[in-house]
Amino acid sequence: MAMLEFTDVDVHYGQVQALRGISLSVEEGEIVALLGNNGAGKSTTLSAASGLAHPSAGTITFNGKDISQGKPWDIVADGLVHVPEGRRIFSTLSVLENLQIGGFLVKDKTLINKRMKRVFELLPLLEQRKSQQGGTLSGGEQQMLAIGRALIAGPKMLMLDEPSMGLAPLIVTAVMEVIREVNEQGTTVLLVEQNARAALKVTHRGYVLENGVTTVTGTAAELINDPRIVEAYLGA
């Protein structure tokens, strides 16, 4: 059984149909990339899984449970956590306060402290900067904070929306390495990226989305060698 499974999912925003019968799956332990151009429906796919947009047709399951019409907070409590595009950190709150917000559904304080310790081991920078205001961090640091905050929620699966956006190449590499490490420590990852080259370095499998449907799917190696992908997403 797949950890996350979309079967023939449609999503509409009023008259606009953003997803047209999407089917995809993510197995436990994987990093799966969702690639595609602007407006292809990548963010909508994540929003549908996290309960921010509900399908008008089809089903979404997480660990076998139908979450198609689920509430965002219930889905987070089930272990599916979304890091939205643009990080959305709280700029006037400190790094530590931002991290604590990630634990808002977690009642057990010792569990939060344990996760905080793990986040600081993975991202030592956040510990060094814990009293700094979130909004004064660099773009890359804010992305690390957004990932750290999501980890405090204790995700079984993390969905990241364009973590490389607006970052310099070296910082993109650092963010991708953090994603790889999070995965190696046991968290499954669904990664939305326009930067296919960076994403395919760390992912196991991928899907290409065009106009609300998945058009190509394969292992990272298959996608890197697929002439359609090379031409459209990797540059000649």
Point out which residues bind ligand ATP (CB under 6 A). Answer: 13, 16, 18, 36, 38-44, 194
Q: Are 126 and 145 in contact (CB under 8 A)?
A: yes
Q: State which residue, 13 or 73, has the beta carbon closest to ligand ATP.
A: 13
Shortest CB 42 distance to ligand ATP, Å: 3
Rounded to whole angstroms, how far apart are CA atoms 161 and 15?
24
Rounded to whole angstroms, how far apart are CA atoms 175 and 180?
9
Q: Where are the alpha helices (DSSP H) in the chain?
A: 42-49, 72-78, 95-101, 109-122, 124-128, 139-152, 169-184, 196-202, 220-224, 227-229
Bridging pattern class, strands 57-62 and 4-13: antiparallel
Q: State which residue, 58 or 79, has the beta carbon closest to ligand ATP.
A: 58
Shortest CB 211 distance to ligand ATP, Å: 8
Shortest CB 135 distance to ligand ATP, Å: 22
Shortest CB 85 distance to ligand ATP, Å: 6
Q: State which residue, 41 or 140, has the beta carbon closest to ligand ATP.
A: 41
Q: State which residue, 53 or 182, has the beta carbon closest to ligand ATP.
A: 53
Residue type, 8: D
Shortest CB 159 distance to ligand ATP, Å: 12
Q: State which residue, 43 or 142, has the beta carbon closest to ligand ATP.
A: 43
Rounded to whole angstroms, how far apart are CA atoms 224 and 29?
21
Rounded to whole angstroms, how far apart are CA atoms 233 and 228?
8
Q: State which residue, 79 or 139, has the beta carbon closest to ligand ATP.
A: 139
- What is the CA 225 to chain-centroid distance, rounded? 24
Q: State which residue, 39 or 218, has the beta carbon closest to ligand ATP.
A: 39
Rounded to whole angstroms, how far apart are CA atoms 146 and 163?
9
Rounded to whole angstroms, how far apart are CA atoms 213 and 208?
8
Shortest CB 53 distance to ligand ATP, Å: 8
Residue 43, SS3 per DSSP: helix
Shortest CB 148 distance to ligand ATP, Å: 23
